[in-house]
Structure 1
Amino acid sequence: MQLRAMPAKGVELRPETEELAKLVRATRWAQAEEKAAAIRRAFEAMFDPSLKQYVFQSPVEFGEFSKTTDVKFEWIDWGYKECLQFQAFLAVEKKDFAAAMALLKSIEAVAPVSAGTAAETGYVLGRLGRAEEGLAEYRHAFELSQRYESQRPYQGASLRGMGSALIDLQRWDDAERMFKQSLEFEPGNKVALNELSYIEQQRSK
């Protein structure tokens, strides 16, 4: 391993990132935007300029990645990824897809096993009319969610994303399979059920 597995650098900022999460859940966007920018500055002020920075959510992710590279790096706390991802989300809400993609690419560079980032990238690509590329990103998100326990929460969302991209490509059977598979992870999910109904409507036409 490149460095000690614990603790990640910036762990002391977790109370701040938890406060950001509360602001996001409360949809207090202006305050959340200001908080995210402040947290990002605090993290980046800690960076060692002689090292690369990578963000991992668990020691397992850190350990596996360490075996794949000879580059010296420091492990940055997951909160850094969270504040960047919120900034990307806010850019999407403002329909500034270029800014969103730039942020998501910067996250990919530091958080190589983030299923959430891959899924959000897939969504933005879909909004840009790039369904094939979006499908590939959602597939990557699902693979990460299968590989790492810490990324499990994105299993259903990744499959629904693949289903949406396949609808855009009018691949109805494949889309149906993805939504049905997503229900194995999140039974009763209304988005999946609604999309399955939509597919049946399209077939009836």
Structure 2
Amino acid sequence: MKIINTTLISLTLLFHFTLNADSIVHGTFINIKQERSLGSETGILVDSAKKLIDQHKYVEANILLDEVILKFEKIIKMDNKETLYRCFLNKEEFIEYQNQTKKKIIWLDESYSRAYYFKAYIHVDKKELEIAKKLLLIANKLAPFAANIFTELAFISSREGNKPNAFMYYKKALELSNQFDSQKVWKAMALRGIGSTLIDLKDLNKAEEYFNESLKIDPHNKIALNELAYIDDLRKAN
């Protein structure tokens, strides 16, 4: 297999793979069998931080997440005129992003963007929404196809009373979940989010459609079932 425009970098924080020359022209990749030694290490740190967040141990979680971010920022450069640093879950996402730019793309382990995402999650839980939004926008820049970042931005917009913005973010999450197999796990959540927003926007029929669509994926979801019952109550009240 011929590899073109290959840059060998001794950073194991990168996702390593090889591509056919017909698939990629500008990408930066490393031919070492999909190994992620330090990437695995940072992934473990992020997973540990998530467990701490679930226990509301935010200080300890933040220490781990900051450690992950520092590990990356010590060894990568910022985006420049020639190179972009991005996180992807698979080759499909990488190729799609590569097709959108002529710049060289360096694929970073997804633990980098996840660290920013979970830091944002902590601030959302603490009702520090402006800080959370800034962190999510950084995460989105790093991981442009991560649907869960958009669902979280939608949640914040809804909390702030900006229903049109929430609707826009949930629709983007749905679009990504339909576009990439790697993002399908977020589809039901995006559908439920759209449904909830449409209730607030007084479009009960459309809201009902989205909740029913979500139940095809997650048939026993209590949120969707409760919202459908709420729609019925609103109709009876009118």
The TM-score by the shorter chain falls in which range?
Answer: over 0.9
Note if 1:11 corresponds to 2:43: no
User: Could you say if the C-alpha distance between residues 110 and 90 of structure 1 is closer, same or farther in structure 2, counting changes exceeding 3 Å?
Assistant: same
- What is aligned with 2:180? 148
Over the residues paired in the alignment, what is the CA RMSD in angstroms? 1.8
Q: 1:128-167 counterparts in 2 under 5 A?
A: 128-167=160-199
- Where 1:140 maps in the other structure, the secondary structure is helix
Measure, in 2, the Cα distance between the counterparts of 1:70 and 1:124. 33
TM superposition outliers: structure 1 runs of 4+ over 6 Å: none
Note if 1:22 corresponds to 2:51: yes
Count of paired positions? 205
User: Does the 8 Å CA contact 1:9/1:76 hold for their aligned counterparts?
Assistant: no
What's the offset of the Cα at 1:52?
2.2
Measure, in 1, the Cα distance between the counterparts of 2:115 and 2:143. 12
What's the offset of the Cα at 1:8?
6.8
Measure, in 1, the Cα distance between the counterparts of 2:205 and 2:91. 39
- What is aligned with 1:175? 207
What's the offset of the Cα at 1:200?
1.0
Q: Which amino acid aligns with 1:69?
A: T
User: Could you say if the C-alpha distance between residues 43 and 199 of structure 1 is closer, same or farther in structure 2, counting changes exceeding 3 Å?
Assistant: same
- Where 1:46 maps in the other structure, the secondary structure is coil
What's the offset of the Cα at 1:39?
1.2
Higher helix content, 1 or 2? 1
User: Does the 8 Å CA contact 1:166/1:174 hold for their aligned counterparts?
Assistant: yes
User: Does the 8 Å CA contact 1:9/1:75 hold for their aligned counterparts?
Assistant: no
Per-residue Cα deviation, 1:143-182 (whole angstroms, up to 9, x for no partner): 1111111111101000011011111111111111111110
User: Does the 8 Å CA contact 1:145/1:152 hold for their aligned counterparts?
Assistant: yes
- What is aligned with 2:135? 103
Q: Which amino acid aligns with 1:54?
A: R
User: Could you say if the C-alpha distance between residues 33 and 93 of structure 1 is closer, same or farther in structure 2, counting changes exceeding 3 Å?
Assistant: same
Note if 1:185 corresponds to 2:214: no
- Where 1:3 maps in the other structure, the secondary structure is coil
- What is aligned with 1:55? 87
What's the offset of the Cα at 1:10?
5.3
Measure, in 2, the Cα distance between the counterparts of 1:194 and 1:69. 44
Structure 1 gaps, min length 5 = none
> Which sits farther off after the overlay, 156-165 or 25-34?
25-34
Measure, in 1, the Cα distance between the counterparts of 2:115 and 2:163. 27
Q: Which amino acid aligns with 2:69?
A: R
> Which sits farther off after the overlay, 49-58 or 142-151?
49-58
Q: 1:118-129 counterparts in 2 under 5 A?
A: 118-129=150-161
- What is aligned with 1:69? 101
Structure 2 gaps, min length 5 = 1-23
Note if 1:38 corresponds to 2:67: yes
User: Does the 8 Å CA contact 2:53/2:122 hold for their aligned counterparts?
Assistant: no
> Which sits farther off after the overlay, 101-110 or 44-53?
44-53
Q: TM-score, normalised by structure 1?
A: 0.93
Measure, in 1, the Cα distance between the counterparts of 2:53 and 2:133. 20
Work out which of the two has the higher radius of gyration on C-alpha atoms and give 1 or 2.
2
Note if 1:82 corresponds to 2:110: no
Q: TM-score, normalised by structure 2?
A: 0.80
User: Could you say if the C-alpha distance between residues 174 and 40 of structure 1 is closer, same or farther in structure 2, counting changes exceeding 3 Å?
Assistant: same
Measure, in 2, the Cα distance between the counterparts of 1:184 and 1:196. 14
Identity among equivalent pairs (%): 29
